Amino acid sequence: MSLLKTKIPKLRIALKAYDASILNTSCQQILQAVEGDSTTKAVGPIPLPTRRRIYCVLRSPHVNKDAREHFEIRTHKRLIDIYQPNDETFLSLRKLDLPAGVDIEIKNQLL
């Protein structure tokens, strides 16, 4: 029985993480899972701009207004496009055990 009822021309996988090294290893795992099939073609990982969120916190809120600390959270993003996926591609992507802390979003895209 086929998992795909209609032919999907492209899958777009968007990955987000706070740690760039974990994100890069998960991208490599996805590419290794996809490259086993001869009909599918993977493009990526395409690095997107890193989002920096900076928070300013007063060290002592009652006394010294000039004493402040700055904290930042960096969100790293990558895109992977998979052209002409088939059933084997979906099964290999489903079997992947990716590290915690990586947010994955998979979209079907029509060309």
Q: In this structure, what token pair is assigned to residue 51? A: 């989002």
Check: CATH 2.60.40.1180 for 10-109? Answer: no
Question: Cβ-count burial of 81 within 10 angstroms (0-12 exposed, 13-18 middle, 19+ buried)?
Answer: middle
The pTM of this model reads: 0.75
CA distance 20 to 75: 8
Domain limits of the chain?
10-109
Residue 77 confidence (pLDDT):
94
Helix axes 87-94, 20-34, angle to 10 degrees: 150
The strand pairing partners of 100, in sequence order, are: none
Find how far residue 59's CA is from the centre of its chain: 35
Residues 11-57: pLDDT tens digits? 888 999 999 999 999 999 988 888 877 678 888 899 999 999 999 98
